[in-house]
Each structure stands twice: as C-alpha cells, then as structure tokens.
Structure 1
Amino acid sequence: MIENANTVAHDSTLKADVCIVGTGAAGVSLALSLLDTGLDVILLEAGGDKEEADTQSLYNGETVDEAMHCPPDKYRQRRFGGSTTIWGGRCIPFDPIDLEARPWIANSGWPVSYEEVAPYFGPATRISEAGENDYDGRTAFGANPPEMFKGFKSKRVTTDTLERFSLPTNFGARYRHKLAAAKKLRLFTYANAIGLDLNAEGTKIRAVRVGTLAGKRFTVEATTVVLATGGLETPRLLLASREVHKNGIGNAHDVVGRYYQCHIAGNVGELKINGPVSDVRHGYELSPEGIYCRRRLALRPEEQRRLKVGNLVARLHFPTIIDPSHHIGVLSGLYMAKFFISYEYSKRLHGGDKPTVGSYLAHARNIVFDSFDTLGFLWHWVRKRTLATRKFPSVILRNKTNRFSLEVHGEQEPNPDSRVTLMDDQLDPFGMPRIRIDWRYTPKDIETVRITLDVIAEELKRTGIGTLTYNPATLEQEVMRYGAYGGHHVGTTRMGDDPRTSVVDRDCQVHGVDGLFIASSSVFPTSSQANPTLMIVAMTLRLADHLKARHGVAGATLAGQPARATAAPVELPVAARGALPGGQGALA
C-alpha cells in the first residue's frame, strides 16, 4: 500500500515490526526481501514520484571547497527511488582484496569476509537488472570472448574484469507495483525522518519521528529501524538525534561522519596502440542475455600487494572534451550543449575550464567538418539511448587513430579527517542542522594512480601493444581537476568490531543500540575501485537475512552463516533487441 504522509493523523503513532527509512537501492531491496515474511513493514520516503524543489532543498548544505566536492544537494535525489532515479546503471562487485586488512592502506579491513558477501552478488545483479552474475570477461561471452587488446597477456595487469550495466533501473518505478500490492507493507511518501527516539538508557531504538513540509507530525514505533538514506543523510540523522546521547547516536567516540570517501577519478595520459583499430575493443560488448558489458585495465591483486597500492581500474577514453584540438564533432557538440545537460553529467564536460569566443568557434568548426560522424552518433543515440528500454550506457566514439586517454577510477585511503559534520547555525524547515562536507584525499590516493599507470605502461610496452605516456608533474592536478567523484558517498558510518573506530557492527547494527541498523554505502570501511550500487544491494540482502532470523522468520539463517541469499524473485525484462553488437563504438 502506498500512502501520502499528509493523510496521517497529526501526532498519531504508527506501529510496525520493521521501519525502513529511504526508498533507494537499499531501501527498496530490503523491502522486497521482507514482503513474504509476515512482518509488518513501514517504508518511509521523504519525497514523491518526481523531483520537487522544496523537498530537494532539504539536502542543501555547504562544502569546505566546492572545487573539490559538489554541493550536498547534487548527485542525490529526495524522491521515490532515491538516487537510482539518476543512476547510470554501472554494476560491479567489490574484489576480495577490498575487504582485506591491508597494512599499506590505513584504516582498511572489513569485519566480514568476502566469502560471506559473495553469495549475495547474484541476487543483487538480478534485482539491479544487469543479467547474470558473471563479471569475468573470459566466461561472460561464451566461446572466443572479445579481447580489449588482441594478444595481450600479462601476469601483472588484467583486462578480464567486467562492469555490467542495468537498464538503468529506477528502483522506485520498477518495483512500485510489488510494493503497492503488498498486504503487510505500508509505504508513505512525503514522510521525512526528522529524528530517532531511543529508550531512556539509549540502548534500544524506540521510534522514528516523521514530519511533512505541510506541517504533519507523527511517530513510527518499530522493533527494528533501518536507515537506508545514503552516505550523507544517514550521519546527519544520527548526529542530529541528540536527546539521549548528546553527541548523537552511535557517536560516543566521534566516529559518525568521519572516514568519508568517494573515488579518485579523471582522464589522464595519452595511449597509442599499435596495429589496426580492429585489434582494440574499447566500447561495450553484449553478453548472451543482451547486457552491455565493458572491460577495464587493472593491477592483479598480487601486484597490488607487492607494490602496496590501492585498487584502481582504467577505461579507454576519448580525448579531453574541453580542448577543441581533438577535432571530434560529437565531443564538441556535447561541450556546446553542456548547459542543457543535468549537473551530474555536465560537470565533467566543463568543470574548471574558462571558455573563450575562440574556443567556441573551434568547437563549432569541429561540428561542421565532422558532421557525418556527428549525425551518425545522434541517430545511434536516439535509437539506442533515448528510445531504448535498455539504454546504451555512455558516449563511445568510433576509433579512428588508436589514440586514447585513460579514465581512471580508484579507491581512496580511509581518512578520519575527511568528514561530514553538522552546522547548528543553519537549520532546515524541520529544525534539523544542515551538513558541512570537508572531503579530503591522501598522498596514497595519488600514488596509487601513478604506480598503476606506470605498470600498465610497462606491460603495454613489453607486449608490443602500445605506449602510454603521462606527465607525473601534473598527475595530481589531472585526477583532482573535478575533485571527489560524483555521488559515491562511502564510509561515514563504517562497520567494524571496535566501537572506538566504527559505527556499526558486522551485521550493520549501530554499536550499543539494539534494533537500529544501517543499509548504505556509509557502512563500507573502504570504497574499492567499484561504483557502490551493486555492493549496496548485496550488503542489504545480507542484512535482510539477518533481520529475518532476528524476527524469527521460518527458515531464516543469520547472515554470518553460510546460506543461499533469499532475495525476492525478480522478473527480468526481455533484453532489448537489435542492440549494438560490437565493442568498436557507438558509430560502428
């Protein structure tokens, strides 16, 4: 059942076994997993079906340096479906090494093993509508899989890891009918969580206080409360709930909001590949079930250990878009249209540049003189992106010269000084303090990029595939050109065994507060090379198994024990027909 919170009686109290706050990837996945358990579930969503300015403005806050981190209301959506409504669809599991305690990565190590999480990647991939749970380029495409570089073999660098792409799936729209039809679930829209109530001793969750912008107030009492509100809103809600614990819930040791990570990302270097363009597969491949997939370059785990670096991947990418000397009409067209593209995607088209009349004229010339490819790209984009259900993931251009830049995407070293705090002098309409973001990176982050590029360059040269060059003196500037990468908000309520250095335990329950759980990338101790959505869903499904056991659901097992994930079955749509078959680009 779906209801508008403004229809709830003022100052009333609703009761449930489980209250879930948030309807993004985590909240919806958890709700789906609990549908047939007999538990009474209340699901709270702060917005409606569409973005609304007054609701979205509740995310407003400030950053210490906007050149390094976008404003807090960007890359997040306060509406049904959460940030999956603007999600690009990239699905990647974390690697086993990501969960290890690595002495060369400060504050690394998860309290759970990779083997405990891995069984949930399959159900998470299905719920995300990214096809089969196969992220290995050697097996995902059947016999004779396409290679990134023909004949490339290396014991140090792999090109076999895959990213798979969702439709992309808006979790709110896709699973709305299941949630609406559920007899034991009530979903309230426009229901803002504005505080958490504990018992007098502060050892047990009692209720969630809810408010609407229209002035309604009510309370949801539940045995179990799960915060699925993302890596920025979750610490805000914990820190702002100070009625019992004066420093906020779970914050006895000043850990809530610390260790804030995103990803280190940027376009660097020049890669020249030898031989014909047909020897390079730089675009998307289709798996047998019709899923767009893409290979990346990465150091093998044993090489990461030997060199003592973090985890990083590199994708073949087109030249820097702001420089018209690339002479590519499509890139110039995207640059000229930057003000008509959403912030989340336009930032990296123009961030940091100072356009001149001359540069605009040069871009215009590119569009005119490269009009044939530009028109071909537009036709492909309309068919395979605009009108398609399973959308072509991103801009891929015909490879004419075998020259690329590398798009790097790497983990950050967890840093306690990188943090989210409250601004008590700036309150939202509910009286909740807004957040202040002080995002920081460490020398290890840049060192990981440098060493990884050096190894890739050595292996490409050794095998005769090509040459990779970059300027070490400007590397930090290049990867920090746009600051923290997008909406990957990680680590602010990290999990661990020690309450002095973590906020939640191995089952994602807040230390010392019975019944209060967190489902979010905020619990990840490290950020991996991977976009977080798939791992968010996998960890949420693991939490779902724990909650079922906690509430005595028949047949349930504790999440820490070996068990097959019990996510609700998901009906996958038929793969889009006629999708681009080749990895040689959108214009092939």
Structure 2
Amino acid sequence: MISDARALPDATVIQADFCLVGAGAAGISLALALSRSGCKVLLLESGGEKEEPATQALYEGHVVNPALHSPADSYRQRRFGGTTTIWGGRCVPYDPLDFEARSYVPHSGWPIGYDEIARYYPQANRLCEAGVFDYHSETAFDRPLKPMIPGFDQRHFTTDTMERFSCPTDFHVRYHDKLSGPTIQVLLHANLTRIVLSEDGNRVTGLEARTLAGNGFSVRASCFVLCTGGLETVRLLLANRDVHAQGIGNQHDVVGRYYMCHIAGTMGGVRFSIPPASIWNGYDMADEGVYCRRRLALRPEVQEREQVGSFVARLHHPRITDPRHGNGILSALYCAKPFIAYEYAKRLFEEDPASLKNWAKHLQNVALGVPDIMGFAWHMLRDRKLAARKFPSVVIKSRAGLYSVDFHAEQMPDPTSRVGLAQEKDPLGMPRISIDWRYMQQDVHTVQRSLALLKQDIAQSGVGSFEYDPQSVEKEMVRYGAYGGHHIGTVRMGASPRTSVTNSDCRVHGVANLYLAGSGVFPTSSQANPTLTIVALSLRLADHLHSRDFSGT
C-alpha cells in the first residue's frame, strides 16, 4: 500500500514489525526482502513520487570547501526511489581485496569477508537489472570479443574485468507494484524528526515524524532501519541528543568521520601506433541485452606490491572544453551544456575558459561536423532517449587513435574527513549538515603510481605512448572534488564502538534494534560505484533481521 502522510490525522500512531526510513536502493531492496516473510513493513519516504523543490531543499547544508565538494543537495534525491531516479546505472562488485585489512590502507578491513557479500551479489544484480552476475569478459560472453587494445601487455593492468549497466533502473517505477502489496506500507512525505530511545538508551521505542504540511505522527515497531544515505544518516544520528548527548552511536565521536567518495579525473593523452580502427573503447552487448564495458584495472597483486589503492582507467575522448580536438560532436555537446543536468555537466565540462575565441572555434567544429553530429543525435535519440535500456554514456571513436585517460580510484579512509551539523536549521527544525571532505597524500600516490604503471605498460607493449604531466596529477584528481554521489564510510561497520558505528550486522553499537543500511557503513570505498554493494548488503541485512527475535526489545 502506498499512501501520503499529509492525509494522516495529527498525532496518529502507526504500528509495524519493521520500520524502514528512506525509499532508495537500500530501503526498497530491504522492504521487498523483508515482506516475503509476511511481516508488516513500514517504509517512510520524505518525498513524493516526483521531485519537489521544498522537499529537496531539506538536503541543503554547509560545505566547508566548495571547491572540493558539490552542494549538499546535489547528486542525491529526496523522493520515492531516492537517487536511483537519476543514477547512471553503473554496476560493479567490490573485489575480495577490498574487504581485507591492508597495511598500506589506514583504517582498512571489513568485519565481514568478501564471501559474505558475494552470495547476495547475483540477487542484487537482478534487482538492479544488470543481467547475469559475471564481471569477467572471458566468461561473461559466449562469443570472442574484439580486444580492447590489440597487443597490450597486461603486466600491471588487466582488460578482463568490466562494468555492467542497469537500464538505469528507477527503483520507484520498477518496484512500484510490488511495494503496493498488502505487507508493505509506503508512507510518502514522511520526514523523520526524532528517534525515541528508552531511558537507558539501549533501544529505540519509536519514531516521530512530520510533514511539511505541519501534521505529525509516530511509529511503533520492533526494529528500525535507517536507509537514508551516507550524509542524511549522519544528520539523523547526530541530531538526536536527548538521551545520548553526542548523538546516537556517537559515544566515541565516530559518527560522520571517515567520509569517502572516489577520486576521479581525466589525464593526458594516449596516442596509439596501431591502426585506430583496432582500438575498442565502447560497449559490448551481453546476450541478455545488457551494456557492458571493459576497462583497465590495476591487478590486486600489483596494488599490494606497490602499496596503492584500487584503480581503474578507461579510454576517454579529448577534453570537451578544448576546441582543438576538432570534433563536431564534442563541440555540439559543449554548446548544449546549459541543457545538461548539473551531475553530468560538472564532469563533462570541467573548468571552462568560455572565451569568445573558444566559442568561435567550437561553432566552427559544429559547422564542419554536421554529418557526424546528425548520426550521433539519431543514435542518442534512439538508443538513449527512447530506449527502455539506455545507452550508458557518450563514446567517441577517435579516427586519429588519440584518447585521454579517464580514471576512478579508491579513496583512503581519513577520520578528519567528516560530516557534522551546522548551526542553521531546516523548516522542520532539524539542524542542517556541514560537510568537510578531505583527501590524503596516499590518495595522490595511488593515482600517480597507477598512471606511471599504465604509461609503462603501454610503452613496453609497443602499442603507443601515454603522455601526461606528473606534476598536474593532484590538481586533476581534485578537479571534480569528492566525486559524484558516492557518500561512503560515515557510519562505518567494525568490531569496536571506538572505531566504528555499527557491528558486522549493521546494528548501531549499543542500540539493540537500530540498524543502518547503505554505503555509509562501508569501511573502505574500493574503486567501484557503490550501488550494487548497497543492494547486496541490504539483502544480507534482511536475512539477519529475519533470524532475529526482537520480542525482548
């Protein structure tokens, strides 16, 4: 059943077995899994079925260094479906090494091993509509694939691992009918304002919520799960201080610390000496109709030997903002940038001089490239705008065999990189968040060393050359700041409340019936986008909750 909290009489009390807060990838996956047992599941969602400016504005907050982090209300959506309503669909599992305690990665080591997650990945893949759970090109396809780079000696990097792409699936639209069933109640426009604890602070006795329309209600349940994302979860825990003076789960000042995103950028130029037509930088279509893309991935044994984090690279088109690329398609994209969403425009266009001279050159490229532009426009209309499964991104084939290198790297956990509370309050009376994202020199080292190894592999293979300025690596890797909507590590899981917020089952230390779901509980970031692992970990949590007896709480 899907209903609207604005229609509830003031002071209504709602009863449920499980109360989940936040209807994004984590909350919806968890609700669907819990409902199969016949338990009554209540799913609270702050927003409605479409984006609403007043609700979205509740995400606004303070950013300590705006040059390093996007506004607090960007890259995440406060509505039914959460950020799956705007995500790009990239699905990638974490690697076994990501779960291990690594001497060269501070504060690393998950309290669970890869096998604990791996058994949930196939089901997560199905929920995300990313096809079969196989992320190796050698086994995922029944047919031989064209080599990514013929003759490339994969000494430090492998081209076998790949990404799969969801439709991208909007969880609200895709699972709307299942969420309308008798065992799930989705309550829209319901904003959690207070987590009510017992006098000893060891359990949650209920929640209090309000709508922007002004009416309030409360929830009574046996178990509560916050599925509100790596930033909002911090705000909710820290803002509730009536029993725990520093906030729930924050006895040792850990909530909001270790904030990670990913390190990303575009570097230099690869000029291939082999025939340009032999290079493959595009997507392969799997038998089940899923787009897949291979990339250059730093081998795990190399990471350990070189003492760097995980790192992947893709062959990328030249910088769009520089009209010297002479490509009409790229210049047409540049001219269309006012119509491209912030989340994508920031990455596509980078720093832009925007001079009249540059504009003139872009317009000249467009005029000379009309046939290519028309073909590209038809491809994007047919395969992205109108298709149910959308072509994932802009891929430009270089006739000259010239590409830049697009990279995505792991960020190290750093306790000084953190999310806290600002002085300002929102219309519900809740303090807004303050974001102080930071990076470490070890993050710079990961990118610098990985690029050097890639340059070496390309040269020694005799397939071309990779030229870039090593002195510009740090500047380039923070050009986008904290990359995208990957809010990781702020309520990390671990064995001790002194260094973590939840235990290995995602339960808040010291609170018997309060759990957290989402990438905030990840102790490390990997290089992989977090959505697939968020869903897998939510499915694991559902199994744990089914096995628990909450009658004593």
TM band (smaller chain) = over 0.9
Give 1:503's aligned residue.
501
Distance 2:363 2:99 in 1: 48
Matched residues in 2 for 1:273 and 1:507: separation?
49
Deviation string 1:164-194 (CA, Å, 9 cap, x unpaired) is 00000000111001111x1121110000111
**Aligned equivalents of 1:196 and 1:393: distance in 2?**
40
Is 1:357 matched up with 2:359? no
> Once the 2 structures are TM-superposed, how far is the Cα of residue 466 of structure 1 from its aligned partner?
1.8
Preserved CA contact (<8 Å) 1:139 1:145: no
Alignment correspondent of 2:112: 112
Equivalent position to 2:546, from 545, 548, 572: 548
SS in 2 for 1:426: strand
Shift of 1:463: 1.6
SS in 1 for 2:119: helix
Structure-2 separation of matches of 1:391 and 1:349:
18
Paired with 2:549 and 2:289, the residues of 1 have a C-alpha distance of: 39
Aligned to 2:415: 416
Q: Distance in 1 between matches of 2:201 and 2:74?
A: 34
Report deviation, 1:464: 1.4
Q: What corresponds to 1:572 in structure 2?
A: none
The residue that corresponds to 1:452 in the other structure is 450
Question: Corresponding residue for 1:344?
Answer: 343
Secondary structure in structure 2 of the residue aligned to 1:13: strand
User: Residue 284 of structure 1 aligns to which amino acid in structure 2?
Assistant: Y
Q: Which residue of 2 aligns with 1:17?
A: 17
**TM-fit CA distance, 1:208:** 1.6
> What CA distance in whole angstroms lies between the structure 1 residues aligned with 2:351 and 2:72?
19
Which residue of 2 is the match for residue 566 of structure 1?
Answer: none
1:338-376 CA deviation, whole Å, 9 max, x = no partner?
111111111123343231111111111111111111111
Residue number in structure 2 paired with 1:369: 368
Following the alignment from structure 1 to structure 2, what is the Cα–Cα distance between the partners of residues 157 and 342? 33
After TM superposition, the structure 1 = structure 2 runs for residues 158-169 of structure 1, keeping only pairs within 5 Å, are: 158-169=158-169
CA distance in 2 between partners of 1:551 and 1:158 (Å):
46
Moved more, 9-18 or 68-77: 9-18
Partner in structure 1 of residue 137 of structure 2: 137
Match of 2:398 in 1: 399
Shift of 1:220: 0.8
Q: Give me the whole-angstrom Cα distance separating, in 2, the residues matched to 1:417 and 1:232.
A: 15
Residue in structure 2 matched with residue 217 of structure 1 by the alignment:
216
Q: What CA distance in whole angstroms lies between the structure 2 residues aligned with 1:210 and 1:307?
A: 50
Structural mapping, 1:273-284, within 5 Å: 273-284=272-283
CA distance in 2, matches of 1:363, 1:64: 35
Distance (Å, rounded) in 1 between the aligned partners of 2:336 and 2:365: 14
Cα distance in 2 for partners of 1:352, 1:149 equals 30
Q: Which amino acid aligns with 1:507?
A: D
Q: Judge conservation of contact 1:46–1:55 (CA < 8 Å) in 2.
A: yes
SS of alignment partner, residue 532 of structure 2: helix
Would the aligned equivalents of 1:208 and 1:221 in 2 still touch at CA under 8 Å?
yes
String of CA shifts for 1:531-556, please: whole Å, max 9, x gaps.
11001001111101101111499xxx
Q: CA deviation at 1:274?
A: 2.0
- 2:229 maps to 1:238: no
**Counterpart in the other structure of 1:581:** none
CA change 1:208–1:146 in 2 (3 A) is farther
CA–CA distance in structure 2, aligned partners of residues 297 and 428 of structure 1: 44
- Size of the aligned set, in residue pairs, is 551
Partners of 1:292 and 1:195 lie apart in 2 by: 43
Residue of structure 1 equivalent to 2:325: 326
Instruction: Name the residue aligned to 2:39.
Output: 39
Tell me the residue number matched to 2:49. Answer: 49
Offset at residue 35 of structure 1 (A):
1.8
Residue identity opposite 1:230 in structure 2: G
* Residues 548-567 of structure 1 aligned to structure 2 (within 5 Å): 548-551=546-549
> What amino acid maps onto 1:376 in structure 2?
G
Distance across 1 between alignment mates of 2:15 and 2:165: 38
Offset at 1:407? 0.5
Distance 2:272 2:550 in 1: 59
1:29 Cα deviation after fit: 0.4
Identity, in percent, stands at 52
Cα distance in 1 for residues equivalent to 2:322 and 2:237: 45
Q: CA deviation at 1:278?
A: 2.8
Q: Deviations over 1:297-336 (max 9, x none)?
A: 1111011000000001001100111111111111111111
Q: Is the partner of 2:538 in helix, strand or coil?
A: helix
Paired amino acid for 1:522 = G
Report the counterpart of residue 585 of structure 1 in structure 2.
none
Q: Residues 552 and 123 from structure 1, CA distance in 2 versus in 1: closer, same or farther, beyond 3 angstroms?
A: farther
Deviation per CA, 1:123-174: give whole Å up to 9, x if none: 0000000000000011111132332112334242111111000000000111
Q: Secondary structure at the match of 2:141?
A: coil
Any stretches of 5+ residues in structure 1 without a counterpart?
Answer: 554-588
SS at match of 2:515: strand
Say if 1:507 and 1:546, in contact at 8 Å, map to a contact too: yes
- Cα drift, residue 67 of structure 1: 1.3
Give SS of 2:71's match.
coil
**CA-based RMSD:** 1.2
Residue number in structure 1 paired with 2:511: 513
Quote the Cα distance in structure 1 between the aligned partners of 2:176 and 2:302: 45
2:287 maps to which residue?
A: 288
| Contact persistence 1:61–1:436 (CA under 8 A) | yes
Letter in 1 for 2:189: Y
Report the secondary structure of 2:373's partner residue. helix
**Cα distance in structure 1, aligned partners of 2:142 and 2:58:** 48
Q: How far apart, in 1, do the equivalents of 2:274 and 2:351 lie?
A: 35
Tell me the CA shift for residue 216 of structure 1: 0.9
| Mapped contact 2:90–2:166 kept (Cα < 8 A) | yes
**Equivalent AA in structure 1 for residue 105 of structure 2:** I
Partner of 1:102: 102
Matches of 1:133 and 1:188 in 2, distance apart? 33
Separation of aligned partners in 2, 1:457 and 1:4: 56
Cα deviation 1:371-393 (Å, max 9, x = unaligned): 11111100100000000000000
Correspondent of 2:431 among 424, 428, 433: 433
In the alignment, the residues of structure 1 paired with residue 70 and residue 549 of structure 2 have an alpha-carbon distance, to the nearest angstrom, of 40
Amino acid at match of 1:359: N
- Distance (whole Å) between structure 2 residues aligned to residue 342 and residue 124 of structure 1: 28
Q: Note if contact 1:352-1:482 (Cα within 8 Å) is conserved in structure 2.
A: no
Change beyond 3 A, Cα 1:327–1:313:
same
Q: Is the contact made by 2:155 and 2:457 (CA closer than 8 Å) also made in structure 1? A: no
Counterpart secondary structure, 1:525: coil
Q: 1:411·1:528 contact (CA, 8 Å) conserved in 2?
A: yes
The CA deviation at 1:10 is: 0.8
Q: Secondary structure at the match of 1:242?
A: coil
Q: Secondary structure at the match of 2:280?
A: coil
User: Which shows bigger deviation, 344-353 or 117-126?
Assistant: 344-353
Structure 2 residue identity aligned to 1:404: Y
The verdict on how the C-alpha distance between 1:491 and 1:80 changes in structure 2, with shifts beyond 3 A counting, is: same
Cα distance between partner residues in 1 of 2:59 and 2:244? 24
Confirm or deny: 8 A CA contact 1:286 1:292 kept in the other structure.
Answer: yes
Give 1:28 deviation, angstroms: 0.5
Superposition pairs of residues 112-261 of structure 1, within 5 angstroms: 112-180=112-180, 182-261=181-260
2:533 aligns with 535
Taking the aligned partners of 2:517 and 2:222, their CA distance within structure 1 comes to 16
Tell whether the 8 Å contact from 2:84 to 2:170 is kept in structure 1 after alignment.
yes
Give the secondary-structure state (helix, strand or coil) at the position aligned to 2:138. Answer: coil
Could you tell me which residue of structure 1 aligns to residue 2 of structure 2?
Answer: 2
Q: Distance in 2 between matches of 1:121 and 1:250?
A: 29
1:91 aligns with 2:65: no
1:284 deviation in Å?
0.5
SS at structure 2 position matched to 1:139: helix
In structure 2, the residue matched to 1:556 is: none
